[in-house]
Structure 1
Amino acid sequence: MMESLVPIHVISLSRSGRRDAIARLLADHGVAFHIEDAVDGRLLTQSELHAAYDDAAARRRYGRSMTRAELACFMSHRSVWRKIVESGRAAVILEDDAILEPAFFESVLCADESRLSTVADVVLLGRSKLRRSASSWIYFNEPLRRSTKIGGLRVGVPFKQWTSGSVGYWISTQAARQALAYAEGPVDALLDDWPWHRDEGGARVVELRPYAVWEDFERLPSSIEEERRTGARSRTSLREVALWPLRLVRTAARWGVVAMQGLSSANHVLSTRHD
């Protein structure tokens, strides 16, 4: 079996029919992993929903109620955080529709918790609802701020994290412990609301580049997305075209910020050497 510094927890609904495929993939690479039964939102009773969910708080933040699948997702990940704290080891959490790059096995699973935890509490290993073919555009449009390299992993803070999802992420033991503290009680936020994790608990959330995990969203539709689509309005193609000039300006501004941060960092190194 492959020597791995990082345990793997795969969250999977027993009725999804997906766990066999990812279990086979991980087994074929000779890595140890744990299949974690996800909470099934469809089976929650009204009394369980009332006890587990704060609808008023969710509406204040999002302007809508959370779906059962969104609530169940948060509860599922929270139960795995408890296991991470009990084990005392950082871990990777995957959802059962994850597609894994070779770098996942070669670099992510060999990450040194003590080194990585100096710059991050949570490392997002991929992004939901993103085609592999569009990765180059995402890397260009969403450059990383304060990028740094830890071992074979390059991580940094993206300009936007709202759509990052939770298909795969690394979380330190301390971060899992803190998350259990600030996420205690009725759920009032989406699991992949990473700005909420940052603001509520001070979590340092960074992204990995290039991504090592992808979501197989086209072949394996998500139950969360099925519920989210109810009543949602899709953007028209005309609006998308109209937004392009603004997006290009935004991208240029982001790279300007990255360049300034790079110059500032280089000047600091030169000054330190001079002193």
Structure 2
Amino acid sequence: MATFQVVIVSLARSGRRERIAEVMTRHGVDFCFIDAIDAKLFEDGELDRLYDDAAARARYGRPLSSGEVACFLSHRLLWKSIANGGRSAVVLEDDALLDPEFFTKVLTWSEDTLAQTADVVLLGRSKLSRSSAARAYLYDPLKRAERIHGMRIGMPFKQWTSGAVGYWISPHGAMLALAHTQGPVRALLDDWPWHRDEGAMTIKELRPYVVWEGFESLVSELEGERSRLTPTTVCWRDWLLEPLRVGRLVARWTVAAAIRLADLTVVGGKRQGRAR
């Protein structure tokens, strides 16, 4: 039986609800849809009232699309519901693809145990395919991780804008998110470093991921808007930076190993003290 409510954020006109509803029903999950705010229904001048363009440009060097603003507002409505209801939730977007462990492990986690370690746990990453996951885990290890049902939850070395295709959020996390995002939207919904720094939220990640964005098979209206506003990156720059990434990889795994060794030493010392 699932411990958490599962809420799926979806545009009423998306045409994607039937697919994910069938998956949820097949696994016996109690779920619901929340109608996402539709940017196409903004009235003239409404976007100017809902959005702080100067703040967004200062952080990202570009404006946010109307779809990105609507996406943020949609999740903020959901956070309010979670905060008022006092029960944590797993939040999914309607293009989410789910591994079996999502149903057999994640949905049966202890809410109290999870709430003691994080406000938000990211269950997947935007624009990452299953075939590329091993490389992502290698280059982005967790500094320190706890094991719950054989799955690791921990803090990454670097948090970044990594999507909101699937995440768990506690009522306390929802209250923190609401408190620091009042007023016009001034950042991306999935700017997790911003939520951490501005909202004092503890945001961790799951490894391995169990939620995947269906970007290879499902067309994203939001992504189309985003790509038109985002500056084009230079491919050769990625190639030149690869040696730096390898060096960073070695450093991160070295630090992670040192932290793990220190933790084991502390635990061993406590056990010896009790034995005496």
Q: Same fold (TM over 0.5)?
A: yes
The Cα of 1:250 is off from its aligned counterpart by 1.1
- How much does 1:253 deviate? 0.9
Pick aligned residue for 1:194 from 192, 195, 199: 192
Structure 1: distance between partners of 2:19 and 2:140:
31
CA RMSD of aligned residues (A): 1.4
Q: 1:139 matched to which residue of 2?
A: 137
Q: Does 2:41 match 1:34?
A: no
2:8 alignment counterpart: 10
Q: CA deviation at 1:241?
A: 2.4
Map of 1:184 onto structure 2: 182
Q: 2:213 aligns with which of 192, 212, 215?
A: 215
| TM-fit CA distance, 1:200 | 1.0
Residues 87-110 of structure 1 deviation map (CA, whole Å, 9 limit, x = unaligned)? 211000000000000010011111
TM-score (norm: length of structure 1): 0.95
Deviations 1:27-78 (A, max 9, x none): 1111110111111112212332122111121122222211111101100111
Give TM-score, length-normalised by structure 2. 0.95
Report Cα offsets for 1:200-255 as digits up to 9, x if no partner. Answer: 11110000011010000011122221112115344344333222211111111110
Q: Secondary structure at the match of 2:121?
A: strand
Match status 1:154 vs 2:141: no
Asked whether the 8 Å contact 2:63–2:229 carries over to 1, the reply is no
Which deviates further from its counterpart, 238-247 or 161-170?
238-247
Contact 2:62–2:230 (Cα < 8 Å) also in 1: no
Equivalent-residue separation in structure 1 for 2:161 and 2:45 (angstroms): 31
Range moving further from structure 2, 176-185 or 40-49: 40-49
- Farther off after superposition, 231-240 or 163-172: 231-240
Number of residues of Structure 1 aligned to a counterpart in Structure 2: 273
1:83 aligns with 81
5+ long unaligned stretches in structure 2 = none
- Structure 1: runs of 5+ lacking an equivalent: none
Q: Does the 8 Å CA contact 1:127/1:163 hold for their aligned counterparts?
A: no
Question: Residue type of the partner of 1:52?
Answer: L
Are the aligned partners of 2:143 and 2:256 in contact in 1 as well (CA < 8 Å)? yes
Equivalence for 1:165: 163
- Of 202, 205, 211, which residue of structure 2 is paired with 1:204? 202
Q: Which moved more, 1:81-90 or 1:252-261?
A: 81-90
Comparing 194-203 with 42-51, greater Cα deviation is found at 42-51
